[in-house]
Chain A
């Protein structure tokens, strides 16, 4: 959409700006030795009106030769050539108009009188067009900055949104209520285990509650969160699953966004292990290539391929991916793959250490 034509308010302002320009042109045409005032006025008004709209076409050439990326030579050449052509066409219109008017009684001989003013018209046509080009560049810049502002706002809203989702996701209601139900069941049959589970659950909740405002935590803390989550789940699912860890000790000090691994593990439990009545496993492989600047995390679990994915699956994964994107851009990678009965998530992020 044209930035001026598209808005009535802008168009009105633009046309008003042409009034003084028209005034100057009128003065030049009627200056000593030129046309008489009434004749000049009759010519200038329609010419200015026509040219005002003709100059709006500068928008297209401005868009195709952006100020930032086009060289000076190309900019100057494009717009000068354009200005000359447009101005020449305008001159032809002026000539036609004068010719048409000269049929009328009061304007007889106008076309002859006009000849002297042609260079003046041609010159001002070029200048006016170049002025319009400048105006359109300004408008384009304004629009670009507005667009950037809007994008930034959107990104901020998105970021906050996914943070909120992350916070909500950290305490899955199913997890919480099922755990409470397990405790309720254990109170009569095995009071000691009931107490143990209360403590495990409390540990997990306490650990997640403090995470809201942090943007990064050491991997060590994230892992302990994962372990306390799994120890609660282990009470629920009994001997049905197993966690195998293979973690490079140096990696433990690296910083990761909070709740990076926990949603992945929760996903593995919900869509993998909970569907496997015979039991399942989760394998966690974390390495930092001995400090090569990258942290690579591989999480694998088995699942039942006969089970098609249900609603809600992938929510946690999407959330993690979004947060990685937001924080690291293309410096981080996130890859999900299924291979037979194996589900594999591979993460790669820039290694950051606590200062």
Chain B
């Protein structure tokens, strides 16, 4: 499916190096139907600007100050075509997992950019419904557990190091992340969050709860089949029967 070829494509460049922005700008200038509507020099700016501008196309550097390209994508959603621009191809696989249109390796030739734009034109119009949890798991390096969780809080971005995460609670389509006495809402499923976290430190104690094991100060019986976990800050979380089994298994292994 192709979009009306006379329509102007509105593009945003997210890239921290001035010279790299410059060459993209220069190459895109010759395209009458591409308009650069914004440029961001870091991930935070992108998270703020992209939802406002709602571009059709995003040129996204992977390695940037503040937030990397994948984290930006996780926070701005996926309603546009993405072209990753990076110096080194260690992220190529992850780029395809998030359905990027193309993946440009710096430095690139004008013809290579042309091919990427062609693919972008074809992709535009075909709405890909992005699964936010898929984006979240792609934002982490394969084989590595997440070291931080990014959450959009209005126009601000919160970065929660996983060591500061007390627990997460499922709430409909969202999860509430409790950290240092505050709660942050994020659109993600609790299972996909669980998959991102190191099972040595985090445990699914209940259908709706994942807890940081370091915070658990004790576990008490509660009712017939269930238990309750009491965290060091006093929070009480339900522990299901299956969750209690997992907890026991984990503790037994540690002893």
Contact = CB atoms under 8 A, between A and B. Distances in A.
Interface stretch (B16-24, B173-181, B244-252): B16-24
Nearest to B42: A277
A37 to B, nearest CB: 63
B47 to A, nearest CB: 14
A277 B66 contact: yes
Contacts of A178: 17, 20, 87, 106
Interface string A164-192: 00000000011011101111111011000
B221 interface: no
A55 B182 CA distance: 70
Contacts of B147: 308-311
B135 to A, nearest CB: 18
A236 B15 CA distance: 12
Contacts of A36: none
Contacts of B87: 173-174, 176-178, 181
Interface in B1-33: 16-20, 22-23, 26
A334 interface: no
B124 to A, nearest CB: 26
B16 A181 contact: no
Most buried by B among A173, A178, A311: A178
A181 B65 contact: no
Interface string B122-161: 0000000000000000000100100110000000000101
Contact of B17 (A236, A275, A306, A310): A236
Contact of B161 (A184, A185, A276, A308): A308
A291 interface: no
Contacts of B23: 181, 184-185, 188
Contacts of A307: 66, 159
A238 interface: yes
A237 interface: yes
Contacts of A174: 63, 87-88
The DSSP consensus for interface residues of chain A is helix
Most buried by B among A181, A236, A237, A308: A181
Interface in B92-108: 105-107
A242 B92 CA distance: 33
A153 B26 CA distance: 56
A180 B159 CA distance: 32
A181 B19 contact: yes
Interface in A281-310: 304, 306-310
Nearest to B41: A277
Interface residues of A, number: 29
A186 B19 CA distance: 7
A274 interface: yes
Nearest to B105: A177
B65 A185 contact: no
A181 B19 CA distance: 8
Interface string B34-63: 000000011000000000000000000001
Contact of A177 (B18, B88, B141): B88
Given A177-B87, A183-B107, A184-B23, A311 B141 contact: yes
Contacts of B65: 274-277, 304
A45 B16 CA distance: 87
A308 B107 contact: no
B196 to A, nearest CB: 14
Nearest to B143: A311
B208 to A, nearest CB: 27
Given A236-B19, A308-B161, A311-B141, A180 B26 contact: no
A307 B160 CA distance: 10
A182 B159 contact: no
Contacts of A189: 22, 26
Contacts of A236: 17, 19
B106 A180 contact: yes
Nearest to B89: A173
Given A189-B26, A308-B161, A182 B19 contact: yes
B66 A177 contact: no
B26 to A, nearest CB: 6
Contacts of B26: 185, 188-189
B107 A277 contact: no
Contacts of A177: 87-88, 105-107
Interface in A216-241: 235-238
A246 B87 CA distance: 33
Contacts of B22: 185, 189
Given A181-B87, A188-B26, A308-B161, 16 more contacts: A174-B88, A176-B87, A177-B87, A181-B23, A182-B20, A186-B19, A236-B19, A274-B63, A274-B65, A277-B16, A304-B65, A306-B159, A307-B66, A309-B147, A310-B68, A310-B147
Interface of A: 173-174, 176-178, 180-186, 188-189, 235-238, 274-277, 304, 306-311
29 contacts: A174-B87, A176-B87, A177-B88, A180-B106, A180-B107, A181-B19, A181-B23, A181-B107, A184-B106, A185-B107, A186-B19, A188-B23, A235-B19, A236-B19, A238-B18, A275-B66, A276-B65, A277-B16, A277-B65, A304-B66, A307-B66, A308-B147, A308-B148, A308-B159, A308-B161, A310-B68, A310-B147, A311-B141, A311-B144
8 tightest A-B contacts by CB?
A185-B23, A181-B106, A177-B87, A184-B107, A185-B19, A181-B107, A182-B19, A275-B65
